[in-house]
């Protein structure tokens, strides 16, 4: 698998110097940029993506078979593996709001 260089910040070194960001601000900006790139890896057609996962892994009742399929996919379809990892990362970062808070913001 070929590794490509990832650009975490949308600024040149000169622009960053002019912005005079603190280390904390720079870290936040890098995190946001990396997260944005992660979201961009998720396919737009979520139904097709979900169907592909289901077709590939089925019910997932056999963990060893699933691990073998994932190992094989790393060789045969690394983009699909990256998309699944990106989706999992986004799902794990989502913090659902209690229904009471949603109702309050709609008023």
What pLDDT, on a 0 to 100 scale, did the predictor assign at position 2?
Answer: 47
CB-side exposure of 107: number of CA atoms within 13 Å? 6
DSSP state of 44: S
Instruction: Tell me the domain boundaries of the chain.
Output: 8-40, 45-107
pLDDT at 4 over 60: no
Q: Which residue has the higher pLDDT, 28 or 80?
A: 80
* Per-residue pLDDT at 3: 44
CB 33 within 8 A of CB 10: yes
For 100-107, what is the mean pLDDT?
59
**pLDDT reading at 78 higher than 90:** yes
**If we measure between CA atoms, which residue out of 14, 86, 74, 75 comes closest to residue 49?**
86
Above 90 in pLDDT, residue 9? no
């Amino acid at each position: 698998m070929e590794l490509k260089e990832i650009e975490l910040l949308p600024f040149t070194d000169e622009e960053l110097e002019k912005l005079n960001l603190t280390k904390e601000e720079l870290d936040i900006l890098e995190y946001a940029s990396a997260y944005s790139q992660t979201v961009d890896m998720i396919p737009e057609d979520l139904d097709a993506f979900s169907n592909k996962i289901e077709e590939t892994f089925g019910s997932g009742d056999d963990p060893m078979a699933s691990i073998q399929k994932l190992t094989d996919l790393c060789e045969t379809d690394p983009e699909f593996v990256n998309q699944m990892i990106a989706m999992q990362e986004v799902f794990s970062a989502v913090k659902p709001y209690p229904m009471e808070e949603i109702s309050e913001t709609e008023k």
